[in-house]
Amino acid sequence: MNKKSNIAIVLAAGKGSRMKSEIEKQFLGLDGKPLLYYSLKTFEESEIIDQVIVVTNADRITYVKEAVVEKYHLNKVRAVIKGGKERYLSVWEGLQYLDNQKEKGNVFIHDSARALVSEEILERAYQGVKEFKACAVGMPTKDTVKIVNEQGFVEHTPKRSLVWNVQTPQVFTMDIAYEAYKRLIKEKVEEVTDDAMVVETMLKLPIKLIEGSYENFKITTPEDLIMAENLLKK
Ligand code: CTP
Ligand code: MG
């Protein structure tokens, strides 16, 4: 039986090396709760999301189940599975799980490090995937961006209004996401930094960028944690 739904793959299998803390950043305390909790809570309360798959480090699966999912009654979490060495390998684990379950519909691929994702963003992304089949959330860059050569000299300055910082969720129909990643793995392409890039390069499909928010930034370094904490208190 094929089911059609909106499923989130929440990525929490990184090491958080730029955070320079003992424990992985997705489990650091943010206003008293693990960072991972916040995006899961937004998905839990969302009108759009039906189910959630959490991808995490193999030795953290029990912790995630007990100290996050069960503790905070995150009932939409259907499975907690192990990730891979790189982000794209963690995504691939999630997509294979869904393919095994014969899931159809849309997949919302999200970095748990973007703890402050909102329902409004999920709604815009859902409209985006319904209309365009492949979309990613992002925001226009605030800084001017330079393209440099290997020696660090400026080669080109793209028009600022056309440069976006891409965020997550990145949302695709299941078919598109699975097919793009399947080819990526088969062709052993490695330097991928987001999901849109996989769909762009493997399937050459157009990807619509959808407005995210500046609050939906990726908690990466220690000062980001302070910023997120302040925003939560607001
Ligand atoms: N991620 C993952 N599996 C990996 C690497 C990253 O699921 N092998 C997840 C992270 O947990 C994070 C998201 O992908 O939520 C975005 O990655 P990033 O912010 O780069 O996190 P880390 O890779 O953990 O951090 P760093 O690059 O500083 O080590
Ligand atoms: Mg990383």
In angstroms, the CA 234 to CA 225 distance is 14
Q: Is the shortest distance between the CB of 93 and ligand 1 below 6 Å?
A: no
Percent of the chain with pLDDT over 70: 98
138 within ligand 1 shell (Cβ under 6 A): no
- Which of 21, 26, 111, 170 is the best mutation target for the ligand 1 pocket, counting ligand atoms within 8 Å of the beta carbon and taking the most? 111
- At 11-54, the pLDDT tens digits run 999 999 999 999 999 999 999 999 999 999 999 999 999 999 99
Residue 76 CA, distance from chain mean position: 17
List pLDDT tens digits, range 89-100: 999 999 999 999
What average pLDDT score do residues 191-209 get?
Answer: 96
Q: Is the CB of 15 under 6 A from ligand 1?
A: yes
pTM above 0.95, yes or no: yes
Distance, CA of 184 to CA of 101 (rounded, Å): 21
Q: With 90 as the cut, is the pLDDT of residue 2 above it?
A: no
Mean pLDDT of 59-76: 98
- The C-alpha atoms of residue 234 and residue 157 are separated, in whole angstroms, by 36
